[in-house]
Structure 1
Amino acid sequence: MQLRNSSARYGLVSVLLHWLVAVAVFGLFALGFWMVGLDYYSSWYKRAPDIHKSIGILLFLLMLGRLVWRFVSPPPAALPEHDRLTRLGATLGHGLLYLGLFGVMISGYLISTADGRGIGVFGWFEVPALVSGLPEQEDIAGHIHKYLAWGLVIFAVIHALAALKHHFLDRDTTLVRMLGR
């Protein structure tokens, strides 16, 4: 498999970025869902949010890299058998996924830095608190983070179902291209 995208298929870098982001999003959602139910006396009460924040920051960096990669190696052209509405839906859907991802990550950053402290990333480096002290920053960003995370996961499931529909009902190569074949 080639590293870069071709006019007909995705390359290894795009495929790996896609699936790494997918695993991270669902893993972060599961971790976040689980950790909000922890009580103060749980041994994971501090550790789980630290892991969640660290992976979230790494995902943000990965997504920035993914955006750069889209310019370096543009995605393959739409399949000729897709009508205009399908192509428009795919473009809008991918755009919403990107917006949702960045919205969730930015709101998570705003929750974590509301008190003026930076975010440590696995002890490797710290992301400074550039925005803090806004009125009700933590609460508002928390609500946004929660609802965007739910929306993102639901939309990602719809995205996966659309890929399966293309594969099994339409019998086109949409899913096969993203699997790197």
Structure 2
Amino acid sequence: MQRLGYSRTAVIMHWILAVSIFFLFVSSWWMLGLPLPSEVFRFREFPFQLHKNLGITLVMVLAVLLYVRFKHRPAPVTSEAMRPWMQKLAVADHVILYVIIIACCVSGYMSSSYSGWGTTFWWLVEFPNWGYENEALNILYSDIHLWTCWALLAIMAVHISGALYHAFLNDGVVRRMLRL
């Protein structure tokens, strides 16, 4: 028998992703608000490493979530709850969310790789840089990172609006997402 809602694992990972994305935006505003480094970079290193660690963890959690969703698909939403065009919009929203999250994280990592500053995953594992310090590539990937993050905020607004719409209708769609 096919499950009515998302699996417990998928629901938990959804909320881990949501909280992680929130903290990524908070940490980005924090780290970009710090004064530019002079000779000593140490006081800026922690927020940047924390931001990078959250981003890398986010991609890993997203990969597991996509695997879980692929292996354990929930039953389709009934036509009474969502019209076919709404179902297509929901699928498109999720695909765009996942693509933008990956683009944000990859562009951030690439920017870091070309910045000359290494990435140590949770201060335990040194990640390789994709090349030598290169200001032009650092700026390019930083710009891509910035614009994909703004796009992520926009698509998240659509995603949250859809959830609020279904919560207001009380049509059972939100219940499928919150089932633990």
Range class of TM-score, shorter chain: 0.7 to 0.9
Q: Deviations over 1:35-65 (max 9, x none)?
A: 1121036974221001000111111111111
Q: TM-score, normalised by structure 2?
A: 0.87
Matched pairs, number: 176
Q: CA RMSD in A?
A: 2.3
Query: Residue deviations 1:100-157, cap 9 Å, x none?
Result: 1001001011011114664201222122223556772110111111111122123212
2:103 equivalent to 1:103: yes
Q: What's the secondary structure of 1:172's corresponding residue?
A: coil
- Are 2:114 and 2:134, in contact at CA under 8 Å, matched by a contact in 1? yes
Residue identity matched to 1:68:
Y
Matched AA of 1:22: A
User: Residues 75 and 106 of structure 1: is their aligned pair in 2 closer, same or farther, counting only changes over 3 Å?
Assistant: farther
Q: Percent identical across equivalent pairs?
A: 27
- Contact 2:6/2:74, CA 8 A, preserved across alignment: yes
Distance (Å, rounded) in 2 between the aligned partners of 1:96 and 1:132 = 31
TM-score (normalised: structure 1): 0.87
Match of residue 21, structure 2, among 22, 25, 31: 25
Name the CA shift for 1:117/1:45 in 2 (closer, same or farther; >3 Å): closer
After the TM superposition, which parts of structure 1 deviate over 6 Å for at least 4 consecutive aligned residues? Answer: none
Aligned mates of 1:178, 1:44 — CA distance in 2? 41
Q: Secondary structure at the match of 1:46?
A: helix
Q: Which has the higher helix share?
A: 2
**Unaligned stretches of 5+ residues in structure 2:** none
Q: CA deviation at 1:158?
A: 2.1
